[in-house]
Structure 1
Amino acid sequence: MLNVDVIGNKKRKRCGRVFRFKNFGEPGYPVMFTGPFRENVNALLEYANLESNLGMGMPMWSFQLEVHHHPPLHIFLFVIEEPIEASLNRHCKHCQYVGWGHHFICNKKYHFVLPSKEALATCSSCEGCCDAIATMNNNNNNNNNNGKSKLIELQGHMMHGVFHSNGFGHLLCVNGLETGSNLAGNQIMDFWNRLCIGLQARKVSLNDTAQKRGMELRLINGIAYSEPWFGRWGYKFGRGSFGVTQSMYQKAIEAIRSMPLYLLIHHIGANNFNHHEVPVIFSRYQTLSGQSLVTLGDLFRYMLELKSRLPRETRVIGNNNYTCSYNNTSSTSASALVESNNNCRWSPKRIEMATRVIVEALKRTEFRWISRQEVRDAARAYIGDTGLLDFVLKSLGNHVVGNYLVRRSLNPVTKVLEYCLEDISNHVYHNCNEGSLAINNSNSNNNNKIKDKYKISRAQLMKDMLYLYKYILIDPKPMMGLEFLSAIPLAARIILDTKFLVKDYSGEVPTFGVELGSDGKLNLYCTILLRNNSCIDEEFLSKAMPPYECITLGSNATINELKLEVERNFREIYWGLRGFVVESIGNFSANNIISNNGKDMVLGLIEVMGGKIVLEGWIGEIIGMMNNNMMIGQMCENDPKNGIVECTCGTKEDDGERLVCCDICETWQHTRCVRIPNDEEIPHIFLCKRCEQEIVMFPSLP
C-alpha cells in the first residue's frame, strides 16, 4: 500500500505512536472499550493524530499501522467525522437498501478508511495528504466538498466503513491483493471485525458484490459452504432484492448444493450435447480428491479448498499432498487390485482378463450409464467365475484402465449402482502448458510399473470453475428431457438477488433495564417513545422507537436526573430529537413526576417497572422549526421524496435495484420485473400494467 520511512520522514514531525495492524482494536490496544459506541469512538480518537484544516467542516484523525517490520510496511487508517450539516444528503441510502429506513437520522457519521494508493497519490507524505486534497478541491470550487469529503467519496479503498452515532454501520468496500493492495481480503475483514467488536457496534451491513473472474463469489461460496464468503465473520442474510426472503434464499442454496453429480453426468453423457467438458471436469476432481464427491456442493467445496492450497504461478500435483497415482495399463491395474487386497485368491492374470472383459463390455454401451447387473451379465458370457467378476467390479470404480476411466456411481432415483466408461485420451496431455491436466509416464526397470501423475494448476482450476459456473449455474443449454437443469439457474438467480448481509454485534436487548457497575454507578438501558400530536401519525409512532441506550447515573439518582440525562443522550445522537422533551416514564404519568418534583429514586421506579424503561415525550423545538410542508417522516433515513415503491415482486421499499416510475400513478417498480433490460434506457413514458388496464377499460368518448 504505502511504504513510509517514519524515522527518515522529517516532514512528519508530529508522528505519534505506531500500532501493530494485526492487533489494532483488541481489548487494551490501544484502549479498553468499556462504554457505549460514542464513548468508545471518542476514547479511540484520543490516541490518533489530529489532522489539520479542521475549519473545513469535517474533522479528521489518523493512525499509523505497521503491517510488517521486516521489510518495513506501514499503512494509515483515517477516521473522518461527518456532521449532518456537512452531508450532501441527510438520508442514508445504505440504511434504506438494507431495510433500516425507519431508523432516526443521526447527528454524526464516522468514516473509517484504509485509503487506496490512488487516494494518496496527490501527496508526497501522509502529513500533507489532507491539505493537498483540500487545496486541490478548493481550487476547483469553493463549496464544502473539501479534501476530507473527497477522500470518503473516492472508490477503490482497501477498506471503507461508516458508522452512525447510534452504533449502526455499513461496510462499504473491501479490496484485497487482486486490486493491488498489500493486504489480503481476510486480513482486512479481521481488522474490521476487531474494530466493530471493540467499538461495540450494534449492527453492520454490507453489499456483497465481490467477483472473481466474472463469477459472483456469493453464489460460488453459497454452493460450497452454505454461506457467503463474509459468513466467516458472522454476516448473514439481511435483505433480499426483488422480494427474496430468507426462506427462499436458504432453499435455493440447498437445492443447488444437493444436486447429485451422478444425475448431471448421467443425463449429460446420455445426451452427448455441447457441454462435453462437464463430465471430464467432474471426473478430474473426483479423481484428484481421493474421496467421493456426491453433490454439486461437494465439488465446488473441494475446488475452492484445492485452490487455496495451490501455489499461484507454479504447477503442482493433485490430492492432499498434490500427488495421485493411477494404473495406466490393464496389467498394472490387475497388480494394483491384487495388492489392494491381501486375501485376493485370484491370480493377476485372471484379474487382468476379467478387467479387460468388463472394459470391452462397457465400450459396447457407447459410453452410456448401465446398471451393475447389466455389466455383470455381459461379462459372464466370457468369465464364468461370478466371484471374480464381483471382485473386479467392486475394485474398478473410478480407476483408469488404459485410455479409459471406469466411473461408478449410485443412481439417486433407483438406488442401484451404475457404471460408465469415459475416454480420457483426448483430455490428457504430455505437457503442462498453462496448467493443463498432464500425465507423466515414467518406467520403472525394477517392477515395470507405469505410474501416472494427474497434475493441475491454479489457472486450470479457475478455468474449470468458470466453465461450470457458466454452463451449469447460469446458462445451461435447454435439452429435451433435461428440464430439471432449468431449475438450477432459477435458484442461482435467487442467491444472486441476496446481496445485503448483516451482522448483529450487540446481541439481544438486555433483559434487565439496570446494572450496578463496579464503581457504584447505575447503568440503565432506556429508549424513548414519541407521543402523538398533529404532526405524527400512528404508523410512524409504531416504528419510532430507537434502540436502547446505556444511561449512566449515580446510585442515588432521581427521576429528574434520569429525565435530563435521557434527553441529553438522545438529543446528541439523533438529528430529529434535538428538541426532545421527556414527559413521562413508563406507566408513570407526568403529573406523578411533577407532584413529587421528580425527586423519586430511580431504583424504586425500576422495581415497579420490572426493568423495562421507556420514556415518553414529544418534540418541541424541532417541531416549531418545521414548516407546514415538512413531514415528521423526514426524521428517518428513508427519504419520503423517493416516492412509493410497489412492485409486482412484492417489494415495498427501495432495495437499491434499478426502478422505473409510472407516469400516471407515480409508483415505482423494478425495471427487471416490467421486462426492461438493463442494457436499455428507461422509456420517456412508462405506464404500469394496472394503469394500462384502466385506460383500456375506460369508455371511449362519443
Structure 2
Amino acid sequence: MASNSFNEAFNMRIKKINPKKLLEFEDFAGPGLVSKTLFGSFRDNVLLFLQNFSEIEDYTVDDMPVWCTLLVTKHGGAFPLFIVEETVWNSENPHCSHCKLSGDLNWMGWGHHFVCKRKYHLIIPSYEDWDKPLHGNFSQFQSHSLYSLIHCNGYGHLISINGIQDGTNFISFREVMDFWNHLCTVLRARKISFYDVSRRGPIELRLIYGAAYGHSWYSNWDYKLRDRFSGGTDQELCTAMKFLSSFDLDKIVRDFKKKKNGKEIKELINKYREMSDKPLVTIGDLLKYMLKFKSRLAVPGFKPSEFDSKDGENTTSLESFMNSMTKGDCRWSAKRLEEVLRVIVDLLNEHKTNNFDGKDGMTRHELREGARKSIGDTGLIDFVLKCIRCFQVENQIIRRTINPYGRLVEFTIHDIVQEAESMKWPIPVMNFNCRWSRDKLEHAANAIVSVLKENKGNKTMPRQELRDKAKDLIHDTGLIDFVLKSLDNSTVGNQIVYRSKNPITKSIEFSLMSVSENLEMSANLNGLLGLNLSEEVLFLYKKVLLGYSDLNSIGLTARLILDSNLFVKELPIEKEVNGFMTLTCRVFPSFDELDTELTRRLSPGEVVVVSPSITIGELKVVAQRALRDTYCVMDNLVLTQVGALKRIEDELILSCAVHPGSEVWVRGSGLDLVTSLRYEDGLKNTINDIVSY
C-alpha cells in the first residue's frame, strides 16, 4: 500500500499545482473550464488538455513522455490520471493489437484504419501504485483502476476498468465508468470499443448480469454489440437478455424436476421466495434479490447491498488503515490509535471464542462499551470504530457489516488460515488405487499452480494446455492427469484452483484465485443463509443458465450472450460548436489506387472544426494539415480538390456549399503506398473486408 509519506507528498503537490489544473472527478463533464476550452477535434483537444490541465512528469517510459492530471473527489481525496503519448517513432509496435483483435473477428473492427501517428494511453493506476512511476510494461498490468488507449483520430479502446479503493474512500466501477464516459465526451473521442472477457472464477459476468437485469452492463453507457458474426446484432442481444431474465422460475422447476439437480434447484428457489417480501416470479427476480446480499461476485454495476458496509470491503493492510486514520485532522497520535485497535481485536477474539459458531459479530454498542473499560476516551473509540471498514491484522480480517435482521452495525473477525484450511484439497491419498505419495501429489499440485500463476493475466487455461506446460515441470503424465482430475474448487497453499467447462468449446478449463481474494468475494452472511451465497449464485449459473442443452431456447440464448464480446460506443459529433462548423474530411483515392492498392474499406476521415465563413480553398488547406498530422500514409499528401467526383470551386464560401456535420470528400496525390505503416492491423490488403460499423 502507499505510504503515509506519499500521501503527504501528494498533498504538497496539490497545494503547489495551479488550481485550474485540479479537476473534479464527479463533475468532470460539467459546463466548466474544461468543456469550454476543448471544442475542437480529439486530435487537437488532447494536446490542449495536456497543455492546460496536466503536468509533464520528470521521467519517460521507453522514451514516451508522461503527463499527470490530478482528480479530486467529493470525499476530499485526490488521485492521478496518467497520459502516455506513444508515437510511431518511439513505438516498438506502431500497429494496434486491439484494432487487430477487433479486425480478426470476421473483419469487423478497425484493422483497416490507416496507422495513426500518435496514440494516447490513459491510466488510473491501482492505489498501491500511485506513488510509483509507470513501468514500460504498464499495458500488461491487470490491476489498473482504468486503462484505455485512444488513437489521435479519436478511435479508441477501453481495455480494463476496476473500482478505486484508497484506504478510506471507495469509488465504484460505475463511478469510474461514468468518469471514463465524461472524459471521452469532453475530449470528443469518436468511437470506443471494449472486448468483454470479464469473469470471476468460472462465472462469465455478462451472462449473470444479463440474466439478472435483462441488459448488458455496458449498455448503461450506450455501448452496443458490434460482433455480429460471432454473436448477434445488438437488438438480438437485447432481446436475448430480456428473454433470459424473464424466464419463469416455475418453468425451470418443471424442466429440471426429473434431472439430477432438480431437487436442489427447487429448494433454492423456494428458500429465497420465502425470504423475499416481494414475489419472485422470474430468474431475473431471483438473481437480483440474491445479489442484494452482495455475493462478492464484484459484477460491474451491481448495486451495493443495503446490508453491507457503506464503502465496500476491499481488505486493506494494518499499515494502510493506520495511514488513513492519521492523515488529515486526526487529533490522536498513531500510538493511541493502535492501542484502541489492539483492544478491539482482543474483544472480538474473546467474543468469538465464547460464541458457539465463532462467527457472530459484536454490535457497535457492545464493542464501544467493552473498549471503555480499557480506553477512557470515548471520542477516540468512536473515531476508530467509525473508520473501520475491512482491514487485516496478521492472519485475521476485521470487518464492519450491518445485520440484516436487527439492522445494527456489527463488527466481525475471521481467521484467514482457518478458513483456508477448511477448504480441503480433495486428493484421495489414502485411496487404495492411488499409487503416488502425498509429497509427489503436493509437488505436482504446486507445479500446476505455478503454471496457472504465469497465465493469470489470461484468466482461464484449457486443460490440455495446462497439462502440456505442467509436463515441463512434472515428467509423469499419469500423475499430472490424476491431480488435474482431483482439482476442483481446491485449495493448494494460499491459492484456490477452479475447474469449469467452457460453454462454447465444451472443454475443461482451470483458473486460479488467492484465498484472500476468495474471502473478499464471500458474503457477510456466510452461514446465516445456509450455503455461501456466492456458491448459490454459482450453482444457478452452472446448473440452470448453463444447464439447458444447445437445442433448448434457454441454451441457445445463453450461448448467444456468451458469444457476444465486442461492444462499441459511438459518440455523436456536434454539427456546430461555439459558432464553428464540424466536418469530417475523407480522402477519395484515385480509381487506379482503389483497383490495385487500396482494396480494403476506406479508412475514416478526419474531423476538422472551422469557421463557416472560410472558403472551400481554405478548407482544403485545413483538411490537408489535419490529414497529414494524423496518418502515416498521408505525410506527403497534397490535396487538389474538395469533392469526390465533382469539384467544388475554391472561391465558394463554405457555409454556402456544405452543411454543418457533413462528410466532405477530398482528393489529391502523395499517398505513401509503400510504407509498412499502412493499416493498423499490419496487413496489406484483403478482399473480405467489406462490413463497416
TM-score by length of 2: 0.59
- Matching residue of 1:183: 171
Equivalent-residue separation in structure 1 for 2:643 and 2:12 (angstroms)? 60
Q: CA deviation at 1:87?
A: 2.4
- Matching residue of 1:50: 56
Task: Label 1:577 to 1:615 Cα distance change in 2 as closer, same or farther (>3 A).
Answer: same
Q: Quick check: 2:57–2:66 contact (8 Å CA) kept in 1? A: yes
Q: Quick check: 1:526–1:550 contact (8 Å CA) kept in 2? A: yes
Equivalent-residue separation in structure 2 for 1:94 and 1:600 (angstroms)? 42
The aligned amino acid for 2:569 is K
2:92 aligned residue (88, 94, 100): 88
Q: Quick check: 2:598–2:685 contact (8 Å CA) kept in 1? A: no
More off after superposition, 87-96 vs 5-14? 5-14
2:532 aligned residue (445, 460, 483): 460
Equivalent-residue separation in structure 2 for 1:574 and 1:311 (angstroms)? 51
- Matching residue of 1:616: 666
Q: CA deviation at 1:37?
A: 1.7
Q: Quick check: 2:546–2:555 contact (8 Å CA) kept in 1? A: yes
- Matching residue of 1:572: 629
Q: CA deviation at 1:62?
A: 0.5
Tell whether 2:256 aligns with 1:252: no
- Matching residue of 1:36: 41
Q: CA deviation at 1:467?
A: 0.8
Please provide the CA RMSD for this pair. 4.1
The aligned amino acid for 2:120 is Y
Equivalent-residue separation in structure 1 for 2:213 and 2:687 (angstroms)? 37
Unaligned ranges ≥5, structure 2: 103-108, 295-304, 310-398, 410-522
The aligned amino acid for 1:602 is L
- Matching residue of 2:217: 229
Q: CA deviation at 1:200?
A: 1.7
Quick one: percent identity of the two aligned structures? 30
Q: Deviations over 1:479-529 (max 9, x none)?
A: xxxx7985434422221111211222226x85xxxx5954xxx52513223
Equivalent-residue separation in structure 2 for 1:66 and 1:488 (angstroms)? 46
The aligned amino acid for 1:160 is Y
Equivalent-residue separation in structure 1 for 2:690 and 2:661 (angstroms)? 36
Q: CA deviation at 1:538?
A: 7.3
Task: Label 1:200 to 1:263 Cα distance change in 2 as closer, same or farther (>3 A).
Answer: same
2:654 aligned residue (602, 627, 648): 602
Equivalent-residue separation in structure 2 for 1:155 and 1:434 (angstroms)? 26
Q: Deviations over 1:126-156 (max 9, x none)?
A: 4xx44xx6xxxxxxxxxxxxx4x43344332
Q: Deviations over 1:590-642 (max 9, x none)?
A: 6x85xxxx444334433xx898552332341624xx27xx6xxx523233179
Equivalent-residue separation in structure 2 for 1:113 and 1:284 (angstroms)? 44
- Matching residue of 2:273: 286
Q: Deviations over 1:210-238 (max 9, x none)?
A: 22343211001111222222222222213
Equivalent-residue separation in structure 2 for 1:13 and 1:25 (angstroms)? 23
Q: Deviations over 1:5-48 (max 9, x none)?
A: 34687799965544433333433254523222223222322221
Q: CA deviation at 1:159?
A: 0.7
- Matching residue of 2:308: 311
Tell whether 2:125 aligns with 1:59: no
Unaligned ranges ≥5, structure 1: 121-125, 134-146, 323-432, 439-455, 477-482, 646-650, 654-702
More off after superposition, 49-58 vs 280-289? 49-58
Q: Deviations over 1:277-301 (max 9, x none)?
A: 2111111222222222222222223
Q: Quick check: 1:31–1:43 contact (8 Å CA) kept in 2? A: no
- 1:123-272 superposed matches below 5 A: 126=131, 129-130=132-133, 147=135, 149-176=136-163, 182-240=170-228, 242=230, 244-246=232-234, 248-269=236-257, 271=258
- Matching residue of 1:108: 118
Equivalent-residue separation in structure 1 for 2:57 and 2:204 (angstroms)? 39
Q: Deviations over 1:85-128 (max 9, x none)?
A: 222222222223332222222211111101135655xxxxx4xx
Q: CA deviation at 1:207?
A: 1.8
Equivalent-residue separation in structure 1 for 2:111 and 2:247 (angstroms)? 38
Equivalent-residue separation in structure 2 for 1:643 and 1:621 (angstroms)? 19
Equivalent-residue separation in structure 2 for 1:642 and 1:465 (angstroms)? 47
1:492 aligned residue (546, 558, 561): 558
- Matching residue of 2:681: 638
- Matching residue of 1:21: 25
Equivalent-residue separation in structure 1 for 2:14 and 2:601 (angstroms)? 49
- Matching residue of 1:682: none
Q: Secondary structure at the match of 2:230?
A: coil
Q: Quick check: 1:119–1:154 contact (8 Å CA) kept in 2? A: no
Task: Label 1:296 to 1:539 Cα distance change in 2 as closer, same or farther (>3 A).
Answer: farther
Equivalent-residue separation in structure 2 for 1:163 and 1:502 (angstroms)? 13
- Matching residue of 2:568: 502
Q: Quick check: 1:586–1:613 contact (8 Å CA) kept in 2? A: no
Q: Secondary structure at the match of 2:70?
A: strand
- Matching residue of 1:409: none
Task: Label 1:316 to 1:573 Cα distance change in 2 as closer, same or farther (>3 A).
Answer: same
The aligned amino acid for 2:110 is W
Q: Deviations over 1:253-306 (max 9, x none)?
A: 34422322112213434x263442211111122222222222222222332345
- Matching residue of 2:509: none
Equivalent-residue separation in structure 2 for 1:303 and 1:321 (angstroms)? 21
Q: CA deviation at 1:67?
A: 3.7
Equivalent-residue separation in structure 2 for 1:157 and 1:611 (angstroms)? 36
Tell whether 2:519 aligns with 1:532: no
Q: Secondary structure at the match of 1:197?
A: helix
More off after superposition, 61-70 vs 229-238? 61-70
Question: Per chain length, whose mean CA-contact separation is higher, i.e. which structure has more relative contact order (CA < 8 Å, sep 6+)?
Answer: 2
The aligned amino acid for 1:497 is D
Q: CA deviation at 1:157?
A: 0.9
Task: Label 1:561 to 1:285 Cα distance change in 2 as closer, same or farther (>3 A).
Answer: same
Task: Label 1:7 to 1:80 Cα distance change in 2 as closer, same or farther (>3 A).
Answer: closer
- Matching residue of 2:602: 544
Q: CA deviation at 1:568?
A: 0.5
Q: Secondary structure at the match of 1:551?
A: strand
2:643 aligned residue (581, 586, 589): 586
Equivalent-residue separation in structure 1 for 2:590 and 2:218 (angstroms)? 42
Equivalent-residue separation in structure 1 for 2:251 and 2:261 (angstroms)? 17
* Higher Cα radius of gyration: 1
Count of residues paired in the alignment: 467
- Matching residue of 1:426: none
The aligned amino acid for 1:51 is E
The aligned amino acid for 2:48 is A
Q: Quick check: 1:237–1:500 contact (8 Å CA) kept in 2? A: yes
Q: CA deviation at 1:189?
A: 1.1
Equivalent-residue separation in structure 1 for 2:10 and 2:289 (angstroms)? 48
Q: Quick check: 2:40–2:609 contact (8 Å CA) kept in 1? A: no
TM-score by length of 1: 0.58
- Matching residue of 2:489: none
Q: Deviations over 1:47-78 (max 9, x none)?
A: 211112469632211122334656xx432111
Q: Quick check: 1:16–1:49 contact (8 Å CA) kept in 2? A: no
